[in-house]
Amino acid sequence: MPNPHLAALSRPQSLQLLKGIRRGIEKESLRTDPDGALAQTPHGQTLGSALTHDYITTDFSEALLEFITPPVATPEEALDILDGIHRYTYSQIGDERLWVNSMPCRIGDDEEIPVARYGDSHSGTMKTVYRLGLGLRYGRAMQTIAGIHYNFSLPDDFWAWLHEREGSSEDLGDFKTRRYFDLIRNFRRHYWLLIYLFGAAPAVCGSFVEGREHSLQRFGDTRSLYAPHATSLRMGDLGYNSDAQQTLIVCYNDLPSYLSTLCSAISQPYGPYHQQGVKDAEGHYQQLSTGLLQIENEFYSPIRPKNPAQMGETALSALDNRGVEYIEVRCLDLNPFAAQGIDAQQMRFLDSFLLHCLLEKSPKTDDADYRAVQENQNRIVYRGRDPELQLIHNGGERKLTDWAAQLLDEMAPIAELLDRAWGGDAYHRAIEAQRAKVKGEAPTPAAQILAEMESRGQGFFQWAQDKAEEHRRYFTERPLDAAEQQRFADLATASLRRQEEVEDADTGTFEDFLGHYYAQYIFCQR
């Protein structure tokens, strides 16, 4: 049955609502030395404060840069901003490279992976202790895996239009939050498709799994390991997939259920972490708490509902106070064939995919549905490129390629609407490019990586190092003009001043600060 919303959106006055979509990118990249080893240098002062810079920060490690774009109107605008951030960063990091793959460069023992530092403020200390806790719980090597996050929001006038069209009596903010959760549930049903189409982590350097159990095979006579039909090892048990979190079932049926399940995981002690203690034998903080989750960001989810948190505010409190403002897609690997880690065609496909998730019916889910989603993720990670792979579907099983073809068919009318809104056929071409992968007429990124490694006789590390050098030249051969270079330098200086202001404004002890922070979770008991 045709989706009735699509016919209504096709009217000229409604089409313009689609031009209000905003998207932003958060892109992580490891810094390496020229030999491909993890950089041991600290985050440079000329890059600004990792605590307060709007565009350049760090993730887990001092060597794991994160570049952030604001929400903008077009994919090209986001990529232009990201391009400028790369060019400025390369002008400041000497002969270091930015690793362009999700699976890391050559890494040593955990002690050789420097945890990110954010200054002496209470909020900066908290960010560092949180990362120490991640390293304690999961090992630091896992935290060196990089990804790209896609932030997506629809404009208020679109929500007002949909609110009226659906005849909702809810407050507009509550309606928007409820419908974003509808999108999230459908996303969780179907995000395996994104891992299949865009997964770019089928192999790893042998150093990454040193001393760990795994089911990977050796790639030729190299030190690399891979799975023949793998898509994204980053999304499997070698990456962001925690055994401890397997016990956690998060409910996405509505905001109160979501808040309640995550709040419980934060506020209730978890045996193994409780035994380790918040502080080490010398009295130094080694984790923020002994809950299953230290904070909500520790929950490894392929998608998150978001509302920008204010300084000192928890992410869950921001949602409780102001509802969902946008969603963050978190299951995307860095694309090593795109200089910025993502390209405009992929972004347009994501727009169509996310609109499809919003506009299609989205039934409530139960624990069995949650486990089915987890199982489909496990299958797609290791066997996603097996043309005979079956996935769990409506209580039975369905062939991946058949299900993928159906989803692309359902997305095609949405892409057509977006093309009508913007002019041209770029959204249509984005759908067709993915259809070619499903039909076996074009390689997925994972397949392309393995094919190039084989044709060049290279292991993953050497292939990835060559890619990093290729992208380094791409950025360094196009230096910013003087005005733009100075603008970035001024942003860095301003961020350092803001960090000083945050540090000067601190009162009380760090223990007091943590107490006030965790007291915000009291809303979970309502």
Q: Work out the pLDDT band at 30, boundaries 50, 70, 90.
A: very high
CB 437 within 8 A of CB 431: no
Using alpha carbons, list the distances in angstroms from residue 458 to 132, 298, 348, 450, 464.
Answer: 35, 35, 33, 10, 9
CA dist 456 and 458 (Å) reads 5
The pLDDT score that the predictor gives to residue 522 is: 76
Q: With 80 as the cut, is the pLDDT of residue 150 above it? A: yes
**Residues counted in the chain:** 526
Tens digit of pLDDT for each residue in 493-523? 999 999 999 999 999 999 999 999 999 987 6
The pLDDT score that the predictor gives to residue 526 is: 52
β-pairing, 148-153 with 56-58?
A: unpaired
CA dist 249 and 252 (Å) reads 10
Count other C-beta atoms under 10 Å from residue 125's C-beta: 18
Higher pLDDT, 331 or 4: 331
Q: Work out the pLDDT band at 196, boundaries 50, 70, 90.
A: very high
In three-state secondary structure terms, 513 is helix
Q: Work out the pLDDT band at 1, boundaries 50, 70, 90.
A: low
The mean pLDDT of 30-53, rounded to a whole number, is 97
Helical axes 367-383 vs 172-190, angle rounded to 10°: 50
Count other C-beta atoms under 10 Å from residue 124's C-beta: 21
- AA letter at 352: S
Task: Name every residue whose Cβ is closer than 8 Å to that of residue 369 and which is 6 or more positions away in sequence.
Answer: 189
The pLDDT score that the predictor gives to residue 463 is: 97
Residue 392 has what DSSP assignment? E
The mean pLDDT of 194-215, rounded to a whole number, is 91
Identify any residues that bridge with 508 across adjacent strands, giving them in sequence order.
none
Q: Three-state secondary structure along 455-511?
A: HHCCCHHHHHHHHHHHHHHHHHCCCCCHHHHHHHHHHHHHHHHHHHHHHHHCCCCHH
Exposed, middle or buried by CB within 10 Å (0-12, 13-18, 19+), for 321? middle
The pLDDT score that the predictor gives to residue 101 is: 97
Using alpha carbons, list the distances in angstroms from residue 232 to 206, 245, 329, 377, 408.
Answer: 16, 19, 15, 10, 21
β-pairing, 56-58 with 64-68?
A: antiparallel
C-alpha neighbours within 13 Å on the C-beta side of residue 162: 24
Q: Work out the pLDDT band at 525, boundaries 50, 70, 90.
A: low
Token pair listed for 239: 């990456």
CB 292 within 8 A of CB 244: yes
Residue in 325, 305, 170 with CA at minimum distance from that of residue 250:
305
> Percentage of residues in the chain with pLDDT exceeding 90?
89
Which range is least confidently modeled, 230-239, 351-360, 431-440?
230-239
CA dist 381 and 434 (Å) reads 18
The pLDDT score that the predictor gives to residue 3 is: 82
Which range is least confidently modeled, 16-30, 35-49, 70-84, 309-323?
309-323
Q: Whole-number mean pLDDT of the chain?
A: 95
CA dist 305 and 38 (Å) reads 32
The pLDDT score that the predictor gives to residue 207 is: 84
Q: With 80 as the cut, is the pLDDT of residue 524 above it? A: no
For 234-392, where are the alpha helices, taking DSSP H only?
Answer: 255-267, 271-276, 315-322, 344-359, 367-383
CB 491 within 8 A of CB 48: yes
Using alpha carbons, list the distances in angstroms from residue 518 to 77, 299, 312, 316, 522.
Answer: 38, 17, 10, 11, 8
The pLDDT score that the predictor gives to residue 106 is: 83
Residue 336 has what DSSP assignment? T
Tens digit of pLDDT for each residue in 89-108? 999 999 999 999 999 988 88
The pLDDT score that the predictor gives to residue 211 is: 77
Helical axes 75-92 vs 344-359, angle rounded to 10°: 130
The mean pLDDT of 152-179, rounded to a whole number, is 97
Tens digit of pLDDT for each residue in 300-340? 999 999 999 987 789 999 999 999 999 999 999 999 999 99
Q: With 60 as the cut, is the pLDDT of residue 285 above it? A: yes
C-alpha neighbours within 13 Å on the C-beta side of residue 244: 17
The mean pLDDT of 175-195, rounded to a whole number, is 98
Q: 241-249: which pairs have CB atoms within 8 A and are 24 or more residues apart?
A: 241/300, 242/137, 242/138, 242/300, 244/137, 244/270, 244/272, 244/292, 245/292, 245/293, 245/299, 245/300, 246/374, 247/292, 248/292, 248/293, 248/299, 249/367, 249/370, 249/371
Tens digit of pLDDT for each residue in 405-432? 999 999 999 999 999 999 999 999 999 9
